Amino acid sequence: MHTIVLAILTLKVYDNDMLNEYVKTIKTLRVEKGISQSEIAEKLGMTRTTYINVEQGKRELTLGEFEKLSGVLGVSLEEIKSGQIPNYEKYKQMILSFLKLEDKIPKTKLAKLLYLADFGWFYYHLESMSGMQYRKQKYGPVSDTYFRMIDEMLDNGEIQIEQTPDGAMLISNSRTSKKAELSKINKDEQKLIKNIDEKWKGHKTAEIVDFTHKQFPFLYAGDNEIVSYNLFTQEDPDEIY
């Protein structure tokens, strides 16, 4: 059974308040992504009036509707449960920030740099930079949104990707994105991103992957589970940047 369905079933039995909290965030996420009520209603197979009742808490969603809605909005119940709503535009600007500091970055390495930026920010502020959750995968922790975001940015002409003879995917800024304003990234966040980049600029992808594998958040998570931000406070920030 799909992970999100299991999560919904669990919440349905043990935590109805969490389902209500998820419903409350729907409008905020929909508006942030620029999706109309009619578009959501169509994807859920209901009328606009019925969907409005959902946003107003007058109509409950079925498990199947929850699963569809999570896919459309790009946010899971796990992210809602964490108390942090992902900021997709900021996450995109984090990607562009790293690409402004280097000509080309391997796709896997870039995913790890973003992880270090989010968890490094959490170390001092008890909140991540982007609000993203990271999952334990074979090549280290990675956001569920990462690969979809890279595909969207490529389709929109915001980045370029080239494949090396050995199969590595190198990501770089497009001409347009080189001039993009990074309005969501404040000076302190930009400083952290720069420090992380300088720390890992001369390291190969395998080295940064190996580093993340040895950290508490990764070690204590099960395969494909969300890694804990709180465990990161036990790490040494000097090793990150």
Nearest residue to 190 via CA among 131, 117, 88? 117
Domain final residue, candidates 53, 81, 109: 81
pLDDT value at residue 136: 92
Does residue 165 sit in the same domain as residue 221? Answer: yes
Give the CATH number for residue 77.
1.10.260.40
pLDDT value at residue 72: 81
User: How much is the pTM?
Assistant: 0.72
Does residue 158 sit in the same domain as residue 223? Answer: yes
Spatial separation of the C-alpha atoms in residues 152 and 159, rounded to whole Å: 9
Q: Which residues pair with 134 in a beta bridge?
A: 143
- Whole-angstrom distance between the N-terminal and C-terminal Cα of the chain? 40
Domain count, the chain: 2
Residue 130 backbone class (left: φ over 0; alpha: ψ -120 to 50; beta: rest):
alpha
pLDDT value at residue 12: 44
Does residue 22 sit in the same domain as residue 102? Answer: no
Does residue 105 sit in the same domain as residue 204? Answer: yes
The alpha-carbon radius of gyration of the chain (Å, integer) is 19
**Quick one: tokens of 51?**
């969907």
Size of the chain, expressed as the number of residues it contains: 241
Alpha-helical segments (H) within the chain? 3-14, 16-32, 37-44, 48-55, 63-73, 77-81, 88-101, 107-125, 146-155, 175-178, 187-200, 205-213, 216-219
pLDDT along the chain (241 residues), means of 10: 40 51 73 85 93 84 78 67 73 96 95 95 91 88 90 93 93 88 94 96 94 89 86 76 70
Domain final residue, candidates 81, 112, 127: 81
Does residue 70 sit in the same domain as residue 107? Answer: no
pLDDT value at residue 181: 87
Domain that holds residue 124: 88-239
Does residue 169 sit in the same domain as residue 104? Answer: yes
Domain final residue, candidates 81, 98, 133: 81
pLDDT value at residue 94: 97
Does residue 133 sit in the same domain as residue 59? Answer: no
pLDDT value at residue 151: 93
Does residue 146 sit in the same domain as residue 55? Answer: no
Does residue 67 sit in the same domain as residue 94? Answer: no
What type of residue sits at position 234?
A: Q
Does residue 104 sit in the same domain as residue 31? Answer: no
Answer for the pair 220, 110: CB distance below 8 angstroms, yes or no.
no
Does residue 47 sit in the same domain as residue 141? Answer: no
Does residue 113 sit in the same domain as residue 182? Answer: yes
